[in-house]
Structure 1
Amino acid sequence: MLTLDSLSRHYGDHSVLRDISLTVPDGQLLCVVGPSGCGKSTLLRTIAGLLPAHEGTVTVDDTPVSGVPDRLAVVFQDYGRSLFPWLTVRENVALPLRRRGLGRAERRGEAERILERVGLAGAARRHPWQLSGGMQQRVAIARALVCRPSLLLMDEPFGSLDAQTREDLEDLLLEVHRTDGATIVFVTHDIDESVYVGDRVVVLSPGPGSRVLLDLPVGLPGPRDQIGTRGLPEFVALRAQVGRAVRSGAGEVS
């Protein structure tokens, strides 16, 4: 589904990403972890075709990325700014379907279907500013899912939410992944979250010139749940392994 081959990006003389090579198979949920400022968001935007690679290539479905690929969706951390406050929740979710030429009734039906799926069936006629932060992020996720993307990019989407809402949305993500089978690249700075939701965790080093420090398959049994999974010895061991990689990377530049 996704291949990064010796990907590098810089701003003038400042190196952000250096020689990143990854292959993400179809249907995998890949978590990318690293400290603030290491280039996680830049990596995601380069995969999405929103920023050009300066060296190396990004390939999606065997096609080099030169713009935003078809059947790709992005969920940003700043969900409040990504929703249109003058549109209803249903209208926000249905908006991407206009590009596909669907009629008004079909757009409405698809939006209502996905809103029910993310637990917002009763909020369709409300506006984003009438919702809590967690509900707004569910709207943003619904808008990303309504086009049935084959590649979903998520940039620290739960980072600003309270702990309970964050856990609820982590479980929603796992349900969506299990049902839809989309390939997902999920950026987070939270080590526990990366191990809980991921099929695989990649740790980036601190900048400048971030590179891959660890590429770790997770392999926890499913279905996962917030209490049982986090109490497993395997979970604790994987979390420690990711934590050591993050700390060793920080030590390299300290």
Structure 2
Amino acid sequence: MLRLDALGQRYGDHQVLHDISLTVPDGQLLCVVGPSGCGKSTLLRTVAGLLPAAEGTVTIDGTPVTGVPDRMSVVFQDYARSLLPWMTIRDNVALPLRRRGLRRAARRAEAEDILDRVGLTGTADRHPWQLSGGMQQRVAIARALIGRPSLLLMDEPFGSLDAQTREDLEDLLVEVHRTDGATIVLVTHDIDESVYVGDRVVVLSQAPAAHVVLDQPIDLPDPREQLTTRGAPEFVGLRSKIGQAVRTPATS
């Protein structure tokens, strides 16, 4: 579904990403982790077509990415800036449906259905500034899901939330992935999170010129549950292996 071939990215003379080759099958939830500043978000923006690749190619279903692809959605960490404060929650969520030419009543009905699904029943007539941070991020996720994307990109979407809210949204992501079967690429700095939600974790090396140092399948039983899964010996072993890879010096 998604393929990166010898992908490289640079800002001027500064090499950020080097020779990244990955194939992400349909329906996989891939987590990308690595040291702070290694280029994880740059990788995601390149996949999204927001930055042209300096080297190599990104293809989706065999088609090279030269701009923002159709049927792709992105959820950013800065949820407050991604929501339009003068619009109601319902209208924020329904915004992507305007491109499909749906009538207003149909857009509103679909928005309310997806709000129910992400646990925001009864918030449709409120505005973003009337909601907590965790609820605002649920709105951003609902807006990303309403177009039924085949590819969902998430750039540290839970990084600024408190621990309980973060766990709740991790469980929501797992449920959405299992139900919808969309291909998801999640960038996160949280190793535990990557092991808990992912089918596979890719570790990038330290900057400069980050490259893949570990490509680790995650074979944990379903359903996943915060306390039980995180306490399992298999989880602890995977977390240790990935953590060691993140901390390995780039020259080793």
* TM-score (normalised: structure 1): 0.98
Please list every run of at least 4 consecutive aligned residues from structure 1 whose deviation after the TM superposition is greater than 2 angstroms. 251-254
Conserved? CA contact 2:207–2:250, under 8 Å: no
How many aligned residue pairs are there? 252
List gaps (5 residues or longer) in structure 2. none
Which deviations, in whole Å up to 9, do the C-alpha atoms of 1:41-74 show, x marking residues without a partner?
1100100001000110000111110111110000
User: Any residues of structure 2 matched to 1:132-211 within 5 Å, and which?
Assistant: 132-211=132-211
Q: Which amino acid aligns with 2:221?
A: P
Partner residue in 2 for 1:252: 250
C-alpha distance in structure 1 between counterparts of 2:224 and 2:202, whole Å: 20
Partner residue in 2 for 1:112: 112
Conserved? CA contact 1:32–1:186, under 8 Å: yes
Offset of 1:94 from its aligned partner? 0.3
Q: Which amino acid aligns with 1:195?
A: V
Offset of 1:253 from its aligned partner? 5.7
C-alpha distance in structure 1 between counterparts of 2:22 and 2:7, whole Å: 9
Partner residue in 2 for 1:43: 43
C-alpha distance in structure 2 between counterparts of 1:247 and 1:39, whole Å: 15
C-alpha distance in structure 2 between counterparts of 1:104 and 1:185, whole Å: 31
Matched, 1:32 2:32: yes
Q: Residues 54 and 252 of structure 1: is their aligned pair in 2 closer, same or farther, counting only changes over 3 Å? A: closer
Identity score, percent = 79
C-alpha distance in structure 2 between counterparts of 1:36 and 1:89, whole Å: 33
C-alpha distance in structure 2 between counterparts of 1:252 and 1:199, whole Å: 25
Offset of 1:224 from its aligned partner? 0.1
C-alpha distance in structure 2 between counterparts of 1:8 and 1:252, whole Å: 17
Partner residue in 2 for 1:76: 76
Offset of 1:99 from its aligned partner? 0.7
C-alpha distance in structure 1 between counterparts of 2:36 and 2:176, whole Å: 27
Offset of 1:85 from its aligned partner? 0.3
In structure 2, the residue corresponding to 1:59 is in which secondary structure? strand
Aligned Cα RMSD in Å? 0.9
Offset of 1:252 from its aligned partner? 3.0
